[in-house]
């Protein structure tokens, strides 16, 4: 098709879209020919889906941990959540559409009880219609030529419209979409693309989204509607369609083959939840939590834009043969603008158990007064166990606890004075391993409480009286430490067995079960974790005794950043030993840490990075003026280069001469999977320094006959 023919087709499509918009005076029974060839066929619910809806409603009301009835108030909340899912950035619907939906708002609750799905499907069909109209409009503007867009005015665009008002009418939406196009063109121009390339990129993006809109299925509407409904109870309760259920766990499928990343839908994007330790993405080093995937490219092929795609289809595209390369275009979590993307090439492979195994290191430190200390470091990427080998009776099966016990033995043979357990980025794993790992550091006793939806409480115990290590202990955590990591860190803190250092953990303190339906499956939250001191790990996570700032944005990552997350609460504590009371030395430990923080170039650089990221995240809009935007872009890039060169200076390395040199170096580092870091990162070293301070203070206190030495205290109790 020639450019002239394509433009004519666009114009026909736009006219028909406008005509269709005028014809549809009510959000029911839509059917429209949007361009010269495609027809949007409204989707309709099936009998199987209606039955599944009734079963889901019953399960939620009678078996979910949260006691929540289906009321008129809930009806309005489901309505809002459903619209947020379908049009979270408020770029498709108008206030006129919302007025037509107003009669449905209070009806959804009673309809969902009885399997009446048509109201939800009516909303879905209207949104699909509006998506098609918007994409046709955008493609029409592109065909007119992006050189006709004006970049000399002082216009700006809101980056996050999730809290904005819907535009009043179609004319206002047209103006918004022209701004969106300007923003996309500006970002690509600043990244060095010419107008021909930009036109091709945007055309392929919007044509791909348009194709997905035309291919909407009844199951898409049902899954979106049910997840808006189930999400009222908590963010981890969700409906799996039959196709998703065939693999059951998309997360597990990606964990074991492909790139080793756990993904989820986030409005029209696919978002990275976490990386699997030892997996290809984790080893490659560029992909991170909260990054959003824009396109996926197979080796030697053009990228496929996946905005608006279903999660299972994005997963299928990312999977592939071992040793093949998949290239992801992502919006980094730190990006201030969704058009600022990075390209990441990852070699597919399986995640091998040995690559997730615990490992050890030794650091040598000087404390006050010139005393030398040797500190052992054990890094635990995940709580793992080789269940197949265990069930087969293999006496040498691998597990977190068995491996850590062996590493402790080796470190004690090296004569370490203290131990640091690094749980940063450990997203959890096998619950019984967390229970057993606590047992390496305490005598017999409870490790975690599990409260069920019927309010019965189960207490897991360490029943092995042996202790693998009774010396001083520091546990490192960050925002990505979750679930089983929080159980271990919380127990160590409650027992007074060691200090928790780092940043507040994720706060994932719930347990889910998967229940079959007549049509698909329901993943439902049925219980909640509580520490032996009675407080839940849910929502709040574990608060460190000594805090170290983090680059991770806690407003975007963590349980308390999720809608309808179950709250923190507490139950009765269970009797447990208190091995050491840190209250006498904690203030001094914090003081010494802060003094090091204020004088350390590494900590200063970290704080500079954090402040820079906060400043970028605080921007709620960007300019659409070419000169202003270029100046802002150059300033951001120069700051990035300055920070990178400051870090190289600390390491005694030559600074980068340009941003291109920095980018080439980062690509080379990411591609080098065999690289080793000879020097442990400074957060681990700070954990060791806190350990050295602890040993010094403990010795001082013991010298005045205070019974506070770690070993003596443990034996006494």
Asked if residue 20 is part of any domain, the answer here is yes
Query: Is the distance from CB of 37 to CB of 27 less than 8 angstroms?
Result: no
CATH code for the domain in which residue 255 is found = 2.30.42.10
The pair of three-digit structure tokens given for residue 580, joined into one six-digit string: 């050491």
The pair of three-digit structure tokens given for residue 66, joined into one six-digit string: 């949260």
Considering the domain architecture, whether residues 397 and 462 belong to the same structural domain is answered as yes
Beta-strand pair 372-379/359-366:
antiparallel
Sheet holding 372-379, edge to edge: 359-366, 372-379, 418-422, 473-477, 499-502, 546-547
Phi, psi angles (nearest 5°) of residue 243:
-65, -45
Query: Which active-site residues does the annotation give?
Result: 483, 494, 508
* pLDDT tier for residue 674 given thresholds of 50, 70 and 90: very low
Q: Give the end of a domain, one of 332, 350, 368.
A: 350
Least confident range of 105-109, 325-329, 527-531, 604-608: 604-608
First-to-last alpha carbon distance for the chain, in angstroms, is: 83
Query: Is the distance from CB of 211 to CB of 131 less than 8 angstroms?
Result: no
Distances (CA, A) of 90 to 134, 308, 618: 12, 14, 20
Query: Is the distance from CB of 326 to CB of 259 less than 8 angstroms?
Result: yes
What is the reported pLDDT for 22? 31
Other beta carbons less than 10 A from residue 687's beta carbon: 29
Considering the domain architecture, whether residues 138 and 281 belong to the same structural domain is answered as no
Name the H helices within 345-470. Answer: 387-391, 400-413, 431-439
Asked if residue 547 is part of any domain, the answer here is yes
Sign of CA dihedral 310, 214, 174, 84: negative
Asked if residue 456 is part of any domain, the answer here is yes
In the chain, the number of structural domains is 4
H helix or E strand, kind and range, residue 514: strand 510-516
* pLDDT tier for residue 202 given thresholds of 50, 70 and 90: very high
From the number of C-beta atoms within 10 Å of its C-beta (0-12, 13-18, 19+), residue 468 rates as middle
What is the reported pLDDT for 515? 93
Considering the domain architecture, whether residues 339 and 403 belong to the same structural domain is answered as no
Asked if residue 513 is part of any domain, the answer here is no
Strand partners, 190: none
- In the predicted structure, residue 134 carries a pLDDT above the cut 80: yes
Separation CA 47–CA 27 (nearest Å) = 22
Considering the domain architecture, whether residues 151 and 18 belong to the same structural domain is answered as yes
What is the value of pTM for the model shown?
0.84
Query: Is the distance from CB of 166 to CB of 51 less than 8 angstroms?
Result: no
CB neighbour list of residue 500: distance below 8 Å, 6 or more residues apart: 474, 475, 477, 489, 492, 493, 542, 543, 544, 545, 546
Q: Give the end of a domain, one of 315, 350, 385.
A: 350
Query: Of 668 and 394, which is predicted with more confidence?
Result: 394
Considering the chain, what percentage of its residues have pLDDT values greater than 90?
A: 54
Separation CA 47–CA 58 (nearest Å) = 17
Separation CA 490–CA 537 (nearest Å) = 8
**Which three-class secondary structure state does DSSP give residue 172?**
helix
What is the reported pLDDT for 277? 77
CB neighbour list of residue 350: distance below 8 Å, 6 or more residues apart: 256, 257, 322
- In the predicted structure, residue 69 carries a pLDDT above the cut 70: yes
Residue 656 DSSP label = P
Q: 643-653: b or e for each residue (b if 16 or more CB lie within 10 Å)?
A: ebbbbeeeeee
Separation CA 563–CA 560 (nearest Å) = 8
Asked if residue 609 is part of any domain, the answer here is no
Considering the domain architecture, whether residues 84 and 111 belong to the same structural domain is answered as yes
Separation CA 349–CA 672 (nearest Å) = 15
Separation CA 297–CA 48 (nearest Å) = 36
Separation CA 674–CA 506 (nearest Å) = 30
**Cα within 13 Å of Cα(40), Cβ side:** 27
Asked if residue 522 is part of any domain, the answer here is no
- In the predicted structure, residue 299 carries a pLDDT above the cut 60: yes
Separation CA 457–CA 182 (nearest Å) = 57
Asked if residue 517 is part of any domain, the answer here is no
The pair of three-digit structure tokens given for residue 653, joined into one six-digit string: 């390395």
Considering the domain architecture, whether residues 220 and 242 belong to the same structural domain is answered as no
- DSSP string of 635-646? HHHHHHHHHHHH
Considering the domain architecture, whether residues 548 and 646 belong to the same structural domain is answered as no
The position carrying tokens 């659409």 is 624
Considering the domain architecture, whether residues 218 and 100 belong to the same structural domain is answered as yes
- In the predicted structure, residue 12 carries a pLDDT above the cut 50: no
CATH code for the domain in which residue 375 is found = 3.90.226.10
pLDDT digits (tens, 9 = 90+) for 221-236: 999 999 999 999 999 9
Query: Is the distance from CB of 685 to CB of 640 less than 8 angstroms?
Result: no
CB neighbour list of residue 8: distance below 8 Å, 6 or more residues apart: none
- In the predicted structure, residue 359 carries a pLDDT above the cut 80: yes
Considering the domain architecture, whether residues 26 and 145 belong to the same structural domain is answered as yes
Q: Give the end of a domain, one of 230, 249, 269.
A: 230
Maximum Cα–Cα distance across the chain: 92
What is the reported pLDDT for 37? 59
Query: Is the distance from CB of 538 to CB of 529 less than 8 angstroms?
Result: yes
Enumerate helices (H) and strands (E) in the chain, giving the number of each: 23, 23
**Which three-class secondary structure state does DSSP give residue 261?**
strand
Query: Is the distance from CB of 109 to CB of 74 less than 8 angstroms?
Result: yes
Separation CA 328–CA 307 (nearest Å) = 12
Residue 568 DSSP label = P
- In the predicted structure, residue 198 carries a pLDDT above the cut 60: yes
**Which three-class secondary structure state does DSSP give residue 554?**
coil
Query: In which domain, by residue range, is 493 found?
Result: 356-508+529-601+681-716
Query: Is the distance from CB of 121 to CB of 111 less than 8 angstroms?
Result: no
User: Among 358-372, 402-416, 594-608, which range has the highest average pLDDT?
Assistant: 402-416
Query: Of 705 and 596, which is predicted with more confidence?
Result: 596
Considering the domain architecture, whether residues 23 and 116 belong to the same structural domain is answered as yes
Considering the domain architecture, whether residues 712 and 624 belong to the same structural domain is answered as no
**CA-based angle 128:162:68, to the nearest 5?**
85
Residue 396 DSSP label = T
Separation CA 571–CA 567 (nearest Å) = 13
* pLDDT tier for residue 609 given thresholds of 50, 70 and 90: confident
Other beta carbons less than 10 A from residue 539's beta carbon: 19
- In the predicted structure, residue 118 carries a pLDDT above the cut 50: yes
Query: Is the distance from CB of 273 to CB of 262 less than 8 angstroms?
Result: yes
Separation CA 104–CA 386 (nearest Å) = 51
**Chain mean pLDDT for the chain:** 85
- In the predicted structure, residue 415 carries a pLDDT above the cut 50: yes
Asked if residue 607 is part of any domain, the answer here is no
pLDDT digits (tens, 9 = 90+) for 452-501: 999 999 999 999 999 999 999 999 999 999 999 999 999 999 999 999 99
User: For residue 570, which of 607, 601, 528, 542 has the smallest C-alpha distance?
Assistant: 528
Phi, psi angles (nearest 5°) of residue 345:
-100, 125
Q: 298-333: b or e for each residue (b if 16 or more CB lie within 10 Å)?
A: eeeeebbbbbbbbbbebbbbbebeeeeebebbbbbb
Considering the domain architecture, whether residues 136 and 33 belong to the same structural domain is answered as yes
The stretch 118-123 carries a mean pLDDT of 96
């Amino acid at each position: 098709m020639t450019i002239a023919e394509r433009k004519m087709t666009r114009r026909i499509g736009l006219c028909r879209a406008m005509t269709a918009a005028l014809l549809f005076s009510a959000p029911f029974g839509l059917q429209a020919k949007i361009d010269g060839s495609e027809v949007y066929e409204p989707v309709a619910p099936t009998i199987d889906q209606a039955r599944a809806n009734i079963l889901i409603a019953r399960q939620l009301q009678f078996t979910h941990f949260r006691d929540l009835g289906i009321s008129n108030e809930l009806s309005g909340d489901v309505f809002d959540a459903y619209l947020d899912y379908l049009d979270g950035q408020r770029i498709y619907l108008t206030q006129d559409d919302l007025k037509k939906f107003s009669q449905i708002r209070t009806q959804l609750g009673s309809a969902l009880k009885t399997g009446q799905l048509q109201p939800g499907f009516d909303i879905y069909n209207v949104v699909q219609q509006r998506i098609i109209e918007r994409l046709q409009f955008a493609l029409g503007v592109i065909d007119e030529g992006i050189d006709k867009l004006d970049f000399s005015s002082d216009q700006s665009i809101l980056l996050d419209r999730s809290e904005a008002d819907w535009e009043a009418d179609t004319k206002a939406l047209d103006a918004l979409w022209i701004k969106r196009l300007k923003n996309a063109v500006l970002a690509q121009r600043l990244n060095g693309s010419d107008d021909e390339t930009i036109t091709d990129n945007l055309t392929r993006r919007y044509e791909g989204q348009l194709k997905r809109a035309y291919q909407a299925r009844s199951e898409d509407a049902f899954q979106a509607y049910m997840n808006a409904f189930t999400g009222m109870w908590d963010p981890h309760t969700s409906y799996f369609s039959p196709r998703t259920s065939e693999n059951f766990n998309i997360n597990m499928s990606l964990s074991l083959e492909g790139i080793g990343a756990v993904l989820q839908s986030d409005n029209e994007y696919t978002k990275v939840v976490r990386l699997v330790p030892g997996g290809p993405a984790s080893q490659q080093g560029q992909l991170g939590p909260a990054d959003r995937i824009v396109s996926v490219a197979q080796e030697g092929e053009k990228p496929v834009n996946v905005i608006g795609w279903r999660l299972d289809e994005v997963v299928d595209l990312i999977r592939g043969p071992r040793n093949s390369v998949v290239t992801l275009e992502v919006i980094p979590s730190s990006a201030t603008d969704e058009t600022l993307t990075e390209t990441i090439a990852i070699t597919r492979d399986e995640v091998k158990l040995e690559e997730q195994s615990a490992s050890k290191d030794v650091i040598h430190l000087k404390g006050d007064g010139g005393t030398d200390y040797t500190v052992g470091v054990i890094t635990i990427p995940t709580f793992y166990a080789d269940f197949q080998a265990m069930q087969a009776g293999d006496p040498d099966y691998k597990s977190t606890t068995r491996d850590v016990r062996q590493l402790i033995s080796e470190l004690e043979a090296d004569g370490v004075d203290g131990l640091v357990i690094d749980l940063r980025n450990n997203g959890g794993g096998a619950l019984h391993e967390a229970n057993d790992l606590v047992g390496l550091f305490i005598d017999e006793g409870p490790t975690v409480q599990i409260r069920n939806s019927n309010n019965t409480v189960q207490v897991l115990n360490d029943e092995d009286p042996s202790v693998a290590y009774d010396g001083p202990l520091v546990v490192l955590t960050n925002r990505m430490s979750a679930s089983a990591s929080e159980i271990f860190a919380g127990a160590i803190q409650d027992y007074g067995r060691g200090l928790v250092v780092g940043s507040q953990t994720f706060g994932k303190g719930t347990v889910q079960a998967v229940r079959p339906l007549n049509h698909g499956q329901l993943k439902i939250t049925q219980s909640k974790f509580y520490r032996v001191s009675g407080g839940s790990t849910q929502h709040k996570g574990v608060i460190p005794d000594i805090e170290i700032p983090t680059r991770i944005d806690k407003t975007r990552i963590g349980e308390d950043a999720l809608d309808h997350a179950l709250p923190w609460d507490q139950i009765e504590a269970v009797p447990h030993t208190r091995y050491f009371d840190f209250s006498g030395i904690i203030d001094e430990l914090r003081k010494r840490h802060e003094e090091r923080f204020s004088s350390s170039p590494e900590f200063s650089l970290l704080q500079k990075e954090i402040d820079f990221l906060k400043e970028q995240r605080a921007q709620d809009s960007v300019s659409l003026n070419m000169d202003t935007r270029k100046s802002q872009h150059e300033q951001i890039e120069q700051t990035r280069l300055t920070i990178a060169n400051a870090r190289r200076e600390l390491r005694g390395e030559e600074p980068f001469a340009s941003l291109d040199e920095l980018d080439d170096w980062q690509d080379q580092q990411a591609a080098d999977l065999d690289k080793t870091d000879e020097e442990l990162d400074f957060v681990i070293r700070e954990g060791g320094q806190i350990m050295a301070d602890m040993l010094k203070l403990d010795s001082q206190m013991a010298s005045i006959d205070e019974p506070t030495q770690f070993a003596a205290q443990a034996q006494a109790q």
